[in-house]
Homo-oligomer: A and B are copies of this chain.
């Protein structure tokens, strides 16, 4: 994605947030065959291979025990199966661990959009005292003691070699390969009328009309890359202002990033606070128009869905799960 495209997405996101009653159409619904990489970090096979090793390497953490894959576990939809993540010392974090699947199509990263790219995102949890608790300079020194890594970094990044920036660059390149593909939904949209059930087809119609999901979950990635307050309850005593912390505009108070719905069956529990365990609970949430009405997005209001319509919506969402993303566990250098 070049800068102009990037800025367009940002501007469009903000536009959407405040544009009541906006009615986009669902076109371009098939996942593009290639992920667009940034000019500052073009994808190469070497970067992907190195990034994969780093993603699985617990030595990236201060304890040498937590890897990116611990909380973004390929076995659990590239998330962790927990309502809220755990970090260093196994202490509970404030939010749900987002999936890596299709993160490559996101604009701003994290639930609150505080990172402008996958490269910047990757640097966050590594350094966060509550997550991987690592010092970047110590990490570079530690990895420099592993000759195979030094060689791989020099081969992959001939100019700078092993640096913290390049650790993040390689991880981001690997993450760009984690894409949901070939779902029953895609097969249906590509012409195979039998790929999904009639219930799912009705669900997709509802998704685009009565249920209003499309107002935020748009395009092939089923996300507008925007931030919305959808009226979620927080745990007793918890105040999480979400995007507002980084961009203090009233409409963003309590607003969180619209997650992709691709592979959504794999990455529960759901929502920034992990409060829902299944898709049925999410449909109920939207059907009642949310719970916390303070600063609620105008997109959210009671839907009056029938029980059958709720089932149809869930049936549709289940068609968005693609083929298993095959990952061979890398052998890490000693």
Contacts and interface: CB of A to CB of B under 8 A. Distances in A.
Interface stretch (A9-17, A85-93, A208-216, A227-235): A85-93
B63 A81 contact: no
Interface stretch (A199-207, A254-262, A296-304, A324-332): A324-332
Contacts of A90: 63, 65, 88-90
Contacts of A326: 328-329
A332 B70 contact: no
Interface residues of A, number: 33
Interface string A104-128: 0000000000000000000000000
A182 interface: no
A324 B334 contact: no
Nearest to A63: B90
Interface stretch (A43-51, A54-62, A242-250, A284-292): A54-62
B59 A86 contact: no
A75 interface: yes
Given A56-B75, A75-B57, A90-B90, A334 B63 contact: no
A75 B70 CA distance: 13
Given A65-B82, A266-B334, 19 more contacts: A53-B75, A57-B75, A58-B73, A65-B80, A65-B86, A70-B70, A75-B329, A75-B331, A75-B332, A77-B334, A81-B332, A89-B89, A89-B90, A90-B90, A265-B334, A266-B331, A324-B331, A328-B329, A329-B329
Given A58-B73, A331-B75, A64 B88 contact: no
B64 A81 contact: yes
Contacts of A98: none
19 contacts: A53-B75, A56-B75, A57-B75, A63-B86, A63-B90, A64-B82, A65-B70, A65-B80, A65-B86, A74-B329, A74-B331, A75-B330, A76-B332, A81-B332, A89-B90, A266-B334, A268-B334, A324-B331, A327-B328
